[in-house]
Amino acid sequence: MFNRMATSWFGIEQLIDRIEHHPSIGLIGIDLSEWSGGLATKFREEGFEWENWLSRSMNRNDLWFGDEVSGHLWLYAGLPNSLQADEGDRYLRAMAKRVKEAIAAESVGKVRHTRPTSGQKERGIGYASLQGLERASVKDVVYDGVVKATERIRESLSGHRDWELRCELERLLAESSIKSVYQPIVRLGDGKIFGYEALTRCPEGSMFDGPLTLFRFAEKNQMALALDRLARETAIRHSPALGAMQKIFINVTMSIINDPHFVSGQTVRWLNEKGIHPGQVVFELTERSSVDDFEAAEKILAHYRTQGYEIAIDDAGAGYSSLQSIVELRPDYIKVDRSLVRQADNDEMKKHMLRTFVRFAKKMNIRTVAEGIERPEELRLLRAMGFDYAQGYLIGRPSEQPAAANPGAIPKV
């Protein structure tokens, strides 16, 4: 999208007017769409008056607005006559960094509080000296400059995305910025709240598009233990008040639960502060990492069970590994994946699979939780089949301060 202030393609009319006073001119590009710290709202507004902002913020008459195209800010800069032939690019790079720093300074509340490194300052900037303005078509020269500067922008961004995400994750950990929301789980027998599943959420404006991406990146970068510890602390500290028989379900992976510091003295203190005892905590094993050694895993889980904790297998029916985990680990709860629950009342194959889960679980003295319930027809079916507990938007949405489960969601018989 072209900025409304642009009088011509890449502000060529203004460029032509200024060539007489600035014989040597360079082009600067700044990628606003890849802004790592978050961009102030005013800079994102259509028609923002960049020319006035540049004049006020940079206080220079040798730097002026060219255009804004597809999230890229394009500026022209007059090059001092004293520069040697090989010094133009270095001058333009320094000028681009100064403009980027000025934009960051006005992105109040969005940028990081730490001093940016040289690499951060040069991310998303490009530049090119405009050669041959006096003898060639101005439009052709500008086009060549845009191509060169765009390539430099691309190079500055290439390969740095993981680095940028790592900085973001380190910030989330340092500032304890993640939060927990809680979704009610109800008993299908009487519709009363049996407990809550704690779900991690990224803060508003995070570079991570969701908790799954966040945890996968942490595992990839050997930061899973730190993130899991923070998620567990947040889930416990902000947990809704629980009745004596109510539970809190906390998502973990086998790679985490295998760590000797998993349930440390600090975790027990968090529980004590909330008046929660281990018998109210259910560790919900997720599919983020597979179990390689079931014999060792069984011993580990037995250790936590002796302390009172319970175990649930999440996403049952979504893959072979979860079915094997049920057989090998003999959990206290099976949480049946939403993919089996969705529209099950209209699908005979899903009905058959759900009945199989219930029959198997009852024989093994395992309690069943149906996830992802969104329709009354699904809830009625699952209750009729003999599921013990239910969870889903129909019953209650995840919330930092969850209200009582929807009483109208439990059908009368």
Dist. CA 219–CA 256, nearest whole Å:
10
- Cβ–Cβ < 8 Å for 219, 252: no
Structure tokens at 267: 């975790």
CA angle 396, 400, 404 (to 5 degrees): 35
Which of these, 261, 172, 179, lies nearest to 217 by C-alpha position?
Answer: 172
DSSP per-residue letters across 151-218 = HHHHHHHTT-HHHHHHHHHHHHHHHT--EEEEEEEEETTT--EEEEEEEEEPPTT-SSSSHHHHHHHH
**DSSP letters spanning 226-263:** HHHHHHHHHHHHTPPP--TT-EEEEEE-HHHHTSTTTT
Q: Considering Cα of 379, then 383, then 387, then 390, what sign does the dihedral take? A: positive
DSSP-based three-state secondary structure for 65: strand
- Its CATH architecture, for the domain 164-409, is Alpha-Beta Barrel (3.20)
DSSP 8-state code for residue 399:
B
Domain map (residue ranges) of the chain: 9-157, 164-409
So what's the pLDDT on residue 164? 76
- Sheet (strand 125-129) strand order: 63-69, 72-78, 25-31, 125-129
d(CA 133, CA 95): 21
Q: For position 2, what pLDDT does the model report?
A: 35
Pairing, β 63-69 against β 72-78: antiparallel
pLDDT at 225: 87
State how far the Cα of 228 lies from the Cα of 318, in Å rounded to an integer.
23
C-alpha–C-alpha distance, residues 193 and 186, integer Å? 4
Contact indicator for 273, 215 with CB cutoff of 8 Å: no
Q: State how far the alpha carbon of 228 is from the alpha carbons of 8, 165, 259, 262, 333, in Å.
A: 53, 17, 11, 9, 21
pLDDT of residue 172: 92
What's 9-157's CATH class?
A: alpha beta
Residue at token pair 């003898």:
135
| pLDDT given for residue 4 in this prediction | 38
Q: Which residues contact 214 (CB under 8 A, 6 or more apart)?
A: 169, 172, 178, 200, 202, 206, 208, 227
Can you say how many angstroms the Cα of residue 242 is from the centroid of all Cα atoms in its chain?
29
Could you tell me how many residues make up the chain?
413
- Each residue's pLDDT tens digit in the chain (413 positions)? 334 344 468 888 888 888 877 778 999 999 988 665 578 888 888 778 898 999 888 988 889 999 988 889 999 999 988 887 778 888 999 999 999 988 888 875 444 444 455 456 678 899 999 988 877 888 899 999 999 999 998 888 875 677 778 878 988 998 999 999 999 999 999 999 999 999 999 998 888 989 999 998 998 888 888 899 999 999 999 999 999 999 999 998 887 887 777 777 788 899 999 999 999 999 998 765 567 678 888 888 888 899 999 999 988 877 655 677 888 889 999 999 999 999 999 999 999 999 999 999 999 999 999 999 999 999 999 999 999 999 999 999 999 988 766 666 666 64
Q: How far apart are the first and last CA of the chain?
A: 59
Instruction: Say what the pTM is.
Output: 0.64
